[in-house]
Structure 1
Amino acid sequence: MTLRDPAFTAPGRFWRGNLHTHSTNSDGVLPPEEVCRRYRAEGYDFLALTDHFVGLWGYPISDTTGYRTNDFTTILGAELHSGAMANGELWHILAVGLPPDFKPSNSPHFTPVAGQETAAQIAQRAVDAGAFVAIAHPQWSGLTLEDARGVTAAHAVEIYNHGCAAGCDRPDGFAIADLLLTEGRHLTMVATDDAHFSEPDFFGGWVMVKAQENTPESLLAALKAGHFYSSQGPELRDVRIEGNMVVVESSAVVSVIAIGWGTGAKGVHGHSMTRTEVPLDRLNGSPWVRVAVIDAAGKRAWSNPIWREAGANPRRG
């Protein structure tokens, strides 16, 4: 039996986009129009401007509809903040596809206050309002597994954050994501910039979304369905499980790694590999398998998990 990542079976084509960006409407350096212009000039198909949803900046959901063109679209969103993590700091929840009238939380600044919503509550509210929701930058936030377990409405975990790579060398979300997968959570994985343009935090991580149209509605539906992969540069063209092998078709890479629960992983290495077979014997019977590829420049791309048990993955929203 063959199991294929649905990103490569869904109808449509791939669109490149960044889901996490800031402007002068919160703590970014550039105004929204210039942020959108730069992403379009760089060849992106879409952008979500996700300014910080706190009272300090008037709870902005930045209106980028005026910067859409025939070949570039925008999705409204925000980075939501409410409730304290175990370390006492405020939560960061990425919400893409919010309505412009999304009700503000009681988050006057970046410090938790008594009586405000929990992260679980505001994430659920965002999902109920139609958003694609991701747990932002777990490593940078100091997120614990117990923290992450509580946000059950999230569709995804931010597994690479380019701003956190540039600013503090804490870009990673894989540990939290893999532990949640191991507990049975059906989550996807997003790479983002978190660009503020105050340092080289832009054009470093993105999603490739398979959709029939480059419209906010079509892109959001595809994100929620898991029809995407994440990248720093390499292209994924197919990821499928055939028997006890994962087959990966990609742009030229030097390493292809299949990853599962616990210590389960197996890499195949070579030169300019475009079709690679990785045996799954060393994945310890993991019910899910995800793939990472690495090119000669050290740039990576990541698939979403493929679940090996029968039945479709549950999706929210």
Structure 2
Amino acid sequence: MQKMFDTALPFWRGNLHTHSTLSDGCLEPAEVCRRYKAEGYDFLALTDHFIGLFNYPIADTLPFRDDDFTTILGAELHSGPMENGELWHILAVGLPADFAPGHAPHFNPVEGMESGPEIAARAVEAGAFVAIAHPQWSGMTMNDARSIEAAHAVETYNHGCAMGCDRADGFHTLDLLLSEGKRLNLIATDDAHFTEPDHFGGWVMVGAETNTPEALLAALKSGHYYSSQGPELRQIFWDGKTITVESSAVSSVIVQGHGIAAVAKHGNSLTKTEVPLSRFNGSPWIRVSVIDAAGKRAWSNPIWRETD
């Protein structure tokens, strides 16, 4: 029997995608940090748009850290273009403050730009946790998605995209990449600009010994976290025959895998749910979704079954 989480570690709630007046958000960095702390978040990555139009900002959020709240430096990187002619949007959390700008003067492609894969690789080399941002919103093709070799995750739920254009999803992109053998995790985020109800809607719960940037980044890179809109994933156990999901009270537990492989269990106030794995005999990976009575979801990272 294997398990997903080390429950001896505390879990910390954080948002990995947020904007301020340093780019196109409407609140100053200090107020963004204050609001997330006031809403019960343990950490925040302020990830303003890293383009020349905004003077390539990496927000200095160090002054807003205290014993109960920390920040991770980061940015939303842009280069390109993708196949549809739009710039790449690549989330990089854990960048050094002196990360070198590329050649992205504004939101339109220009000659001499790095490719998306190149700037993602440079961010990973600099120590960042890198995610492919909002693939549905961006109109990303699978050829685009396949080209990013240096990424840790796909942004599979983006609350700002849900509120602003009903294009919040990245699960289709993630699942196809998983079935091609790409070892990627997933994240839920806000992408908050505070210009609409785009905040406090999706987050990660990170299992780490301390609420410090270093410990949080190490846990993110190792996949020791889950993503949520509200429900809690407390533990996931599995062997060759069954997966058991321990959670806060939910109405549905769904296990997904390659292709059409999926099994759902429905009920009332489910807190410990067993799902047989016979449906997934041909799937090298599985992942778990839970849905509560209000329709809020939480999602596990993928489990690779050859480790059974």
Same fold (TM over 0.5): yes
Which segment is superposed worse, 278-287 or 197-206? 278-287
2:202 counterpart of 1:234: no
2:280 counterpart of 1:283: yes
Match in the other structure for 2:124: 127
Match in the other structure for 2:169: 172
Unmatched runs of 5 consecutive residues or more in structure 2: none
Give the counterpart letter for 2:2 in structure 1.
L
CA shift for structure 1 position 284: 4.8
CA shift for structure 1 position 132: 0.1
CA shift for structure 1 position 12: 1.9
Equivalent residue in structure 1 for 2:102, among 105, 109, 118: 105
Match in the other structure for 2:305: 308
**CA contact 1:3–1:308 (8 Å) conserved in 2:** no
| In 2: Cα distance, 1:137 partner to 1:3 partner | 31
Equivalent residue in structure 1 for 2:192, among 184, 190, 195: 195
Match in the other structure for 2:76: 79
Which segment is superposed worse, 276-285 or 197-206? 276-285
* CA deviation profile, 1:18-67 (whole Å, cap 9, x unmatched): 00000000000000000000000000000000000000000000000000
Aligned residue pairs, count: 308
2:3 counterpart of 1:4: yes
Match in the other structure for 2:56: 59
Change (3 A) 1:246 1:121: same
Match in the other structure for 1:157: 154
Give the counterpart letter for 1:251 in structure 2.
S
Give the counterpart letter for 1:286 in structure 2.
S
Match in the other structure for 1:50: 47
Unmatched runs of 5 consecutive residues or more in structure 1: 312-317
* CA deviation profile, 1:166-195 (whole Å, cap 9, x unmatched): 000000000000011001111110000000
The residue matched to 1:75 in structure 2 has which SS? strand
- Identity of matched residues, %: 70
Match in the other structure for 1:315: none
| In 2: Cα distance, 1:281 partner to 1:199 partner | 44
Equivalent residue in structure 2 for 1:115, among 112, 116, 132: 112
Give the counterpart letter for 1:156 in structure 2.
A
| In 2: Cα distance, 1:297 partner to 1:10 partner | 26
| In 2: Cα distance, 1:118 partner to 1:306 partner | 30
Q: How does 1:130-141 map to 2 (within 5 A)?
A: 130-141=127-138
CA shift for structure 1 position 242: 2.5
Equivalent residue in structure 1 for 2:295, among 285, 292, 298: 298
Give the counterpart letter for 1:154 in structure 2.
A
Give the counterpart letter for 1:18 in structure 2.
N
| In 1: Cα distance, 2:7 partner to 2:131 partner | 22
**CA contact 2:57–2:75 (8 Å) conserved in 1:** yes
Give the counterpart letter for 1:287 in structure 2.
P
Match in the other structure for 2:251: 254
**TM-score where L is the length of structure 1:** 0.96
The residue matched to 1:268 in structure 2 has which SS? strand
| In 2: Cα distance, 1:71 partner to 1:244 partner | 42
